[in-house]
Structure 1
Amino acid sequence: MSTFQNEFAQPIGAPLPNWQGARAPARVAHEGRYCRLVPVDPATHLHDLADAYNSATDARDWTYLATGPFSTLEAHRAHLEKLASTSDPLHFAVIDAASGKALGTLALMRIDPANGVIEVGFIAFSPLLKKTRIATEAIFLLMRHVFDDLGNRRFEWKCDSLNAPSRAAAKRFGFTFEGIFRQAVVYRGRNRDTAWFSILDSEWPALKASYERWLDPKNFDTGGAQIERLSTANAR
């Protein structure tokens, strides 16, 4: 319950006298230790992404996405050209720093600078990217950009409420579950109840420290396995 009241003794939200809005993201690269994020470029990324997605044994990774899988290279090219043509969503390719290859994509979307709210979405990580430190760093790089560079107040994650892996990932990455929006979306000819998650700017400093500890090379053994889990670091 708010402790602030107006002249009518009604509870109101906390005042934000210095709030002037966030900045909009631009088509710039974001550099990390294990990966970099660059705006999607079909000419550069098509073959890498097609190879990465084709490493899957079946099409289950596309079940909860509105697009894909792509049966031909031309269909995939058309998809990437569409991704590259929009500024909201603003799509990035995740580039493995070691190999230089694109292994997946993700986007900043529903960009609302006036209210300082932005969402990460359209996450399409190939089997070569899932459950790697690269995938975690990709989320961290966007998160850091959202809060430190752009000055947002709120970072959102949304997914089909039936998408258990996505919900587990949101929790691992430090997002707080807020509830279910029933019958929120129609896609692939079916209903979607949407699960909402968020991180607030007040929560970011502690999360940032956790990510930095987790991503430190000293947190991985000689085989590349994590020593401390990110969820454990975030819980602390």
Structure 2
Amino acid sequence: MQQGRFYAVKNLKTGNFEGVASFLRISPDAGSIEVGHINFAKPLQRSRAATEAMFLMMQWVYDAGYRRYEWKCNALNTGSRRAAERLGFSHEGIFRQAGISKGRNRDTAWYASIDTEWPALKSAFETWLSDTNFDANGQQKESLSDLTRLVRVLDDPALKSG
């Protein structure tokens, strides 16, 4: 297994580096790789640029021949869990007491996408990122979650509303 690779995320609109993301648990023999340590500054959070950065990382993963792209997070981090689903990762379960964080048990939520899903996910991202999906005020017309919902195998039951 290879060491992680960290990337600075530059917002092309502002010209500033406003985030970091990394590839972790890089296992070419198994064909799997994880995205993690994602940290975006406020201007980049929930932006079209942030989504494009995540799309480009996912595209690289599948273009490089990986079969499985993983997203793991603290099960208490609902924001990260929602982001994983929005980006097309399917919920795979909760690993109970998978670690210790700040002296407390940490449950880990697992998500993944696989290579056979990539063509449909790529199409969803391209549709969402298209200029035609945004009005004159930059508001999306169709959500990425709605587009990736058609591809996800299993949604996280803890995120269901109502």
Q: Is TM > 0.5 for Structure 1 vs Structure 2? A: yes
Which residue of 201, 215, 226 maps to 2:115?
201
Letter in 2 for 1:168: R
Distance 2:147 2:113 in 1: 16
Letter in 1 for 2:98: A
SS at 1:185's partner residue?
strand
Give the aligned partner of residue 36 of structure 2.
121
Distance 1:139 1:161 in 2: 21
Which residue of 134, 144, 167 maps to 2:49?
134
Which residue of 209, 214, 235 maps to 2:128?
214
Give the aligned partner of residue 181 of structure 1.
95
1:133-158: CA deviations, max 9, x gaps? 0111111000000001x100000000
Give the aligned partner of residue 233 of structure 1.
147
Give the aligned partner of residue 84 of structure 2.
170
Distance 2:4 2:128 in 1: 29
Gaps of 5+ in 1: 1-23, 25-86
1:183-235: CA deviations, max 9, x gaps? 11122222210000000100010000110011011111111111110011223
Q: Which runs of 4+ in 1 moved over 4 A?
A: none
Distance 1:217 1:94 in 2: 21
Identity of aligned residues (%): 49
Give the aligned partner of residue 62 of structure 2.
147
Distance 2:41 2:103 in 1: 24
1:3-42 equivalent positions in 2, closer than 5 A: none
Gaps of 5+ in 2: 151-162
Distance 1:90 1:141 in 2: 15
Which residue of 97, 103, 122 maps to 2:18?
103
Say how many residue pairs are matched: 150
The structure with more radius of gyration: 1
Distance 2:61 2:3 in 1: 14
Higher strand residue share: 2
Q: Pairwise CA RMSD of aligned residues?
A: 1.4
